Amino acid sequence: MKKSWQIFWHTLFWASVISFFIFVAHSNSKTTMHTLLVLFVVFGVINIGLFYLNYLLLIPKYLDKKKYRHYAIYVISAILIIGLAKYGIAVIFKPIILVRAGKAISFWQYTFSTTFTSIIFIFLSTVLKFTTDWFLNERIQRDLENQRLSAELSFLKSQINPHFLFNSLNSIYSLAYQKSDTTPEAILKLSEIMRYMLYECNDNKVELSKELQYLHNYIDLQKIRFGNKAFIQFEVTGEVNDQYVVPLLLISFIENAFKHGVANDPLLPINMRVNLEDGHLFFFIQNKKHSHNRDASGGIGLVNVQRRLDLLYPSKYNLDIRDEADTYTVQLSLVL
């Protein structure tokens, strides 16, 4: 909240409180409205001044810095000085303030009463200060956590593009080296894929239809790379309409299958399925393992997607990875 608004609401609150007590006192007293207005405004200003003295000065300067002895000395001194000031004003209006039921109130009785009132204002200002500081700290911590998560997600997402580009360029290089006629088509597919990654994936979530088209383009690029030797199955079931999903979430699993798996075995093709049902996305991929399926950078993509799932779909996903002797299987269920 802006400082000007804080001042407005504080002023409105105290004006309402003073007006309320003036109205109540006027209804139950023969004292003139002018006299009551003077008394409540004067004493109100003194009590409110004590409130903000503690709220704005004493707590930040001493209590927040754990200078408890200094804080206690200044608070007690402020209460005593204000108590004397109040008694001096009370003497001026003695018939109204220091006489009750025809009997005069002693100095000590009045001092005890006004000290109790001052303690209430000190207590209220302390509660307000600690409450506002707690909410402010919570908001700051929340903002810092959001900034940290955004930075981490941006870093994770930035890892995807170079990793994908590295693998795709390797594939196209192989086609070019073989002087394949499909090289221009592969470059065009890569261009479509990079356009999606650069211009469509800037939001936290994208249309599921666009993400699935991106996966189709990637798989088509791999089919071009393998030619007639590729045995790949990709099936989407269920209704694709207005669902949204975090971009570039499934590509790491598919990349992993092509990079470390076998795509040219007709008996065990790379099998991929996406099923949409009741607001859930179910993803399945299985590939035959290559005898030499590990390299130094093989784990980047899967570690990346696992972390992104933890951050973006907490308690809304289930990931099952089965690394068996001959096959590698991933099953992911996701609440969209």
pLDDT given for residue 11 in this prediction: 76
313: DSSP letter: S
Q: What is the mean pLDDT of the chain?
A: 79
pLDDT value at 323 more than 60 = yes
Measure the CA–CA gap between 157 and 311, rounded to whole angstroms. 12
- Torsions phi, psi of 303, nearest 5? -65, -40
Pairing, β 327-335 against β 280-289: antiparallel
Q: How confident is the model at residue 297 (pLDDT cuts 50, 70, 90)?
A: very low
Of the two residues 156 and 313, the one the predictor is more confident about is 313
pLDDT value at 295 more than 50 = no
The radius of gyration of the chain from alpha carbons, rounded to an integer in Å, stands at 37
Of the two residues 173 and 151, the one the predictor is more confident about is 173
pLDDT value at 170 more than 50 = yes
pLDDT given for residue 331 in this prediction: 93
And the tokens for 271?
């099998």
Q: How confident is the model at residue 149 (pLDDT cuts 50, 70, 90)?
A: low
Measure the CA–CA gap between 213 and 200, rounded to whole angstroms. 12
Assess contact for 70 and 13: CB atoms under 8 A.
Answer: no
Tell me the per-residue pLDDT of 42-70, one tens digit each, with 9 for 90 and over: 777 888 888 889 888 888 888 888 888 99
Tell me the per-residue pLDDT of 175-212, one tens digit each, with 9 for 90 and over: 788 787 778 888 888 888 878 877 777 777 888 999 99
**Domain positions in the chain:** 3-142, 180-335
Q: How confident is the model at residue 293 (pLDDT cuts 50, 70, 90)?
A: low
Amino acid at 320: D
Q: How confident is the model at residue 33 (pLDDT cuts 50, 70, 90)?
A: low
Q: Of the candidates 279, 283, 284, 282, which has an alpha carbon nearest to the alpha carbon of residue 336?
A: 279
pLDDT value at 131 more than 80 = yes
Tell me the per-residue pLDDT of 249-288, one tens digit each, with 9 for 90 and over: 888 888 888 877 888 888 888 999 999 988 899 999 998 8
pLDDT given for residue 35 in this prediction: 59
Assess contact for 196 and 234: CB atoms under 8 A.
Answer: no
pLDDT given for residue 298 in this prediction: 45
Q: What topology does CATH give the domain 180-335?
A: Heat Shock Protein 90 (3.30.565)
280: DSSP letter: E
> Following DSSP, what letter does each residue of 25-75 receive, concatenated?
HHHT--S-HHHHHHHHHHHHHHHHHHHHIIIIIIIIIIITTT-HHHHHHHH
Measure the CA–CA gap between 280 and 335, rounded to whole angstroms. 5
Assess contact for 218 and 254: CB atoms under 8 A.
Answer: yes
Of the two residues 294 and 222, the one the predictor is more confident about is 222
Measure the CA–CA gap between 17 and 78, rounded to whole angstroms. 23
